């Protein structure tokens, strides 16, 4: 019984910590047509307080880079790399053992997609990220998304 109670407490603390991480960043998702059957999906992170979010290439091992995982959709072709738009900070962090790449306040990630035909579909997936400030890092967090495309 004590083990079950302890396990419940650990799960509760973990879920509260994850909730804090996702509150540190507010994500917005949208798409716009840029050419015939071609769209840009923008995924913008608004970072609260003094936290920062790591780039897709964090620079060193240790901090979790921001990663996008897209759900397979046979109606879409994706460009190989999600682009980053924002003011990247490159800073030597002794705790990580080298130079790290991150964004403060805001960063936009852009994924170019092509729709096969004139169909309506969506780009779905998840973004995994970690935020830190000068004192602490919050646990990694995942946010699922789905953006309408085409038509």
Write the pLDDT tens digit of every residue in 40-66: 999 999 999 999 999 999 999 999 999
Q: Which domains does the chain have, with CATH numbers?
A: 2-150 (2.60.40.1250)
Please give the pLDDT value at position 21: 56
The ranges of the chain with pLDDT < 50 are: 1-19
Given a contact cutoff of 8 angstroms between Cβ atoms, the answer to whether 40 and 112 are in contact is: yes
Q: What are phi and psi of 18, to 5 degrees?
A: -65, -40
User: pTM for the complete prediction?
Assistant: 0.84
CB atoms within 10 A of CB 16: 9
What is the per-residue pLDDT for 20? 54
Query: Residue 57: its pLDDT value, please?
Result: 97
Residues 6+ apart with CB under 8 A from 92: 98, 99, 100
At 15 the pLDDT is: 41
Note the maximum CA span of the chain. Answer: 62
Rounded Cα distance, 70 and 78, in Å = 9
Residue 88: is it exposed, middle or buried by C-beta count within 10 angstroms (0-12/13-18/19+)? middle
C-alpha span between 68 and 128 (Å, rounded): 7
For residue 117, the model assigns a pLDDT of 85
């Amino acid at each position: 019984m004590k083990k079950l109670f302890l396990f419940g407490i650990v799960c509760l603390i973990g879920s509260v910590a994850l909730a804090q991480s996702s509150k540190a960043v507010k994500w917005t998702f949208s798409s716009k047509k840029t050419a015939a059957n071609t769209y840009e999906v923008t995924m913008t992170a608004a970072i609260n307080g003094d936290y920062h979010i790591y780039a897709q290439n964090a620079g060193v091992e240790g901090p979790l880079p921001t990663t996008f995982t897209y759900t397979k959709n046979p109606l879409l072709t994706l460009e190989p790399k999600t682009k980053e738009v924002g003011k990247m900070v490159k800073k030597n962090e002794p705790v990580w053992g080298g130079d790290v790449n991150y964004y403060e306040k805001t960063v936009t990630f852009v994924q170019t997609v092509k729709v096969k035909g004139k169909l309506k579909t969506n780009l779905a997936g998840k973004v995994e990220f970690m935020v830190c400030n000068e004192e602490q890092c919050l646990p990694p967090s995942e946010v699922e998304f789905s953006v309408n495309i085409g038509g």
